[in-house]
Amino acid sequence: MTISRKADGYYITLSLEDKSVPALTTKVEPTLKNTLGIDMGLKEFLVTSEGESVPIPQYYRKSQQRLKTLQKRLSRKKKGSKRRLKAVKTVAKQHKKIADQRKDFHFKTANELLLKAEVIAHENLNIKGLAKTRLSKSINDAGWGNFLTILTVKAENAGQKTIAVNPKNTSQDCSNCGEKVKKELNIRTHSCPHCGVVIDRDLNAAINIKNRAVGHSVLKARGARRNTGAGKREAHIVAPA
Ligand SMILES: [Zn+2]
């Protein structure tokens, strides 16, 4: 609001921003070229379909360890004592520190990903039952929900896109030939007896996630490979067995 004085009196100028008017949205269609798949791991924060990994920062792990220590100390303080009150404050401060660090890390990671690709594909975390599966621990520890919210909002603001895909068998299916290769959680390498591809387990999942977002079905993938000989490009990334 601005007030201006003119010869014949005072004028008030109001400018309003209407939040109900939708921002310009670009229609981005996911393709093999513009889409990056991310697999949320137990080991790494995420691994991309290009084979890059984003680790959970060391400072974050340290802060969490410190929190545990502080909580233990608090539990030993006598109820109603001044020392206890002080310990409560220290714990609260540490909680805040961790929350800030996590948010900061999520923002940075989201920005970096959105510089790499127009569309980011990830597993749908809202699918019922997932909380009890392999991801439950990392969802809680790494704040996956928070991160994906930040990523999605940032993507939309930039005219980009995130796509949530069905997480079923993303780590079991072969990203190269589509055959199911069963493996336990401790098996870190995807080694396919059907097509011979040997890649990191999380990378295999990230490629599957990308392919799902693009609508690149197994049959389509097979057809494409037969026709062009493509599809082996990731095979050079071999994880240590
Ligand atoms: Zn295979």
Tell me the per-residue pLDDT of 28-71, one tens digit each, with 9 for 90 and over. Answer: 899 999 999 999 876 789 999 999 999 988 888 899 899 999 99
Q: Is 8 a catalytic residue?
A: no
φ, ψ dihedrals at 164, nearest 5°: -100, 125
Residues in Cβ contact with 45 at an 8 Å cutoff, skipping those fewer than 6 apart? 53, 54, 55, 56, 109, 142
d(CA 175, ligand 1 centre) in Å: 7
Residue 123 annotated in active site: yes
pTM for the model stands at 0.74
**More confident site: 13 or 46:** 46
10 Å Cβ neighbour count for 176? 25
Question: How far apart are the CA of 228 and the centre of ligand 1, in A?
Answer: 17
Query: Among 118, 123, 200, 234, which one carries the catalytic annotation?
Result: 123
Of the residues 118, 173, 202, 234, only one is catalytic, namely 202
15 vs 68, more confident: 68
Q: How far is the CA of 205 from the centre of ligand 1 (A)?
A: 13
Judge whether residue 131 has pLDDT over 60: no
The SS3 call for residue 175 is coil
Q: Alpha-carbon torsion 169, 175, 181, 183, what sign?
A: negative
Q: Is the distance from CB of 167 to CB of 127 less than 8 angstroms?
A: yes
Does 235 have pLDDT greater than 80? no
> DSSP E strands: which ranges in 26-160?
35-39, 46-48, 53-54, 119-123
> Based on the number of CB atoms within 10 Å of its own CB, is 192 exposed (0-12), middle (13-18) or buried (19 or more)?
buried
Reported as a single tens digit per residue, the pLDDT across 105-128 is: 999 999 999 999 999 999 987 764
Please provide the average confidence, as pLDDT, over all residues in the chain: 82
Catalytic residue status for 118: no
Which of residues 138 and 160 earns the better pLDDT score? 160
pLDDT grade for 104, boundaries at 50, 70 and 90 = very high
CB burial of 46-80 (b: ≥16 within 10 Å; e: otherwise) equals: bbbbbbbbbebbeebeebbeebeebeeebeeeeee
Ligand 1 mean position, distance from CA 181 (Å): 8
